[in-house]
């Protein structure tokens, strides 16, 4: 079976800086997988490579066995990859509902003329999209915030709204960039539960996270990145005890002299 996402020998350099080097891994459909690594390891760069913000210097990225290298970000979004951002990037002065409806853009068909003339097809679509957006807000526990400006939501709610907005495009693969950052323990456990529900609805989840409790709890496989290279990969338990991983995070143990 072809994996949902496959990175083959991906390399990305910015001038002389090697951000990602010889990175290969696969994500099976229906999984929850995580990528961890110290700050500056290149994790967000990997997300930016997958979503077409950057083009790999060399290597290949395939979605469902078809290459997505060189495609524009909006086209990749249309193929079924949605994401959230490490620094929340909601549409601050649009309502929560409008944010989610905007997330649906790639699944909508209204043409320029439909938009100009509000044809019956356009009105029907708007109505369906609005209903679907409300469902998604409910799914993420935000039904009461539907009409609030995104920027007026609490931090935890903003993180959830980003997820609702990403889900609106009915993605095959959802990329979550540090979804638990800044959340309190209560919000984190709600998030774990939400991530599981998302996977159960048929969406593959790939997350970057620093919170080890959450990562170990929710992910089925973990890839560890350090200095742009994969240093470990496997089940949470194995990764937790991997010497190179411990070294990357805590440094090498020097013999006491």
Partner 1 sequence: MKFGRERPFAVLPFLVLPLVPLLDRNNSHIDFLTNAGAFILLALGLNIVVGFAGLLDLGYAAFFAIGSYSYAMLASQQFGIHIPFWVMLFVASVIAAIFGILLGAPTLRLRGDYLAIVTLGFGEIVPQTFLNLTQYTNGPNGISPLDSPSLFGHSFGFSATPYYEVMLALIALAVLLATNLQSSRLGRAWMAIREDELAARHMGINTTTAKLAAFALGASFSGLAGVAYAAKLSLVSPDQFQFNVSVLVLSMLVLGGMGNIWGVIVGSFTLSFINGFLLPQSTNLAHSMHLNLDFTNYRFMLYGVILVAMMLFRPEGLIPSKQRRAEFREAKLDPALAAEEQGEYTLGPGPGAGTGG
Q: Which is nearer to partner 1, 78 or 234 (CB)?
A: 78
* Closer Cβ to partner 1, 228 or 236, answer by number: 228
The Cα 227–Cα 37 span in angstroms is: 9
Q: 26 and 223 in contact (C-beta within 8 Å)?
A: no
The DSSP code for 149 is B
Minimum distance from residue 53 beta carbon to partner 1 (Å)? 5
Whichever of 169 and 223 has its CB closer to partner 1, that residue is 169
Smallest separation (angstroms) from partner 1 to the CB of 34: 20
CB-CB neighbours of 70 under 10 Å: 10
- The Cα 128–Cα 132 span in angstroms is 6
For the bound state, the minimum distance from the C-beta of residue 147 to partner 1, rounded and expressed in Å, comes to 11
Residue 233 CB, nearest approach to partner 1 (Å): 25
Cβ-based nearer residue to partner 1, 49 or 239? 49
Nearer to partner 1, 87 or 254 (CB): 87
Pairing of strands 204-208, 221-226: unpaired
Helix (H, G, I), strand (E, B) or coil at 23: strand
Give the closest residue to 99 by CA, choosing from 84, 79, 116.
84
Least Å distance, CB 226 to partner 1, is 21
Positions in the binding site for partner 1 (CB under 8 A): 44, 48, 51, 53-54, 72-75, 77-78, 82-83, 85, 87, 89-94, 98, 101-103, 105-108, 110, 112, 114-118, 122, 125-126, 149, 151, 165, 169
The C-alpha angle 131, 137, 142, rounded to 5 degrees, equals 140
């Amino acid at each position: 079976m072809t994996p949902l996402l496959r990175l083959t020998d991906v390399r990305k350099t910015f001038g002389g800086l090697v951000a990602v080097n010889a990175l290969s891994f696969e994500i099976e459909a229906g999984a929850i997988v995580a990528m961890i690594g110290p700050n500056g390891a290149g994790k967000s760069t990997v997300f930016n490579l997958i979503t077409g913000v950057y083009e790999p210097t060399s290597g290949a990225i395939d979605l469902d066995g078809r290459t997505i290298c060189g495609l524009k970000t909006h086209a990749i979004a249309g193929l079924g990859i949605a994401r959230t951002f490490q620094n929340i990037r909601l549409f601050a002065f649009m309502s929560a509902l409008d944010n989610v409806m905007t997330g649906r853009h790639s699944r909508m068909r209204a043409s320029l003329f439909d938009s100009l003339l509000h044809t019956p097809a356009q009105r029907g679509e708007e109505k369906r999209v609005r209903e679907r957006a409300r469902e998604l807000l409910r799914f993420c526990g935000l039904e009461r915030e539907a009409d609030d400006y995104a920027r007026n939501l609490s931090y935890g709610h903003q993180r959830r709204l980003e997820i609702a907005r990403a889900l609106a495009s009915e993605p095959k693969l959802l990329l979550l960039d540090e979804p638990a950052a800044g959340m309190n323990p209560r919000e984190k456990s709600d998030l774990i539960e939400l991530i599981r529900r998302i996977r159960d609805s048929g969406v593959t989840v790939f997350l970057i996270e620093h919170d080890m409790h959450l990562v170990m709890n929710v992910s089925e496989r973990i890839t560890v990145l350090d200095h742009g290279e994969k240093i470990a990969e496997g089940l949470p338990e194995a990764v937790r005890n991997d010497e190179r991983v411990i070294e990357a995070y805590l440094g090498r143990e020097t013999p006491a002299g």
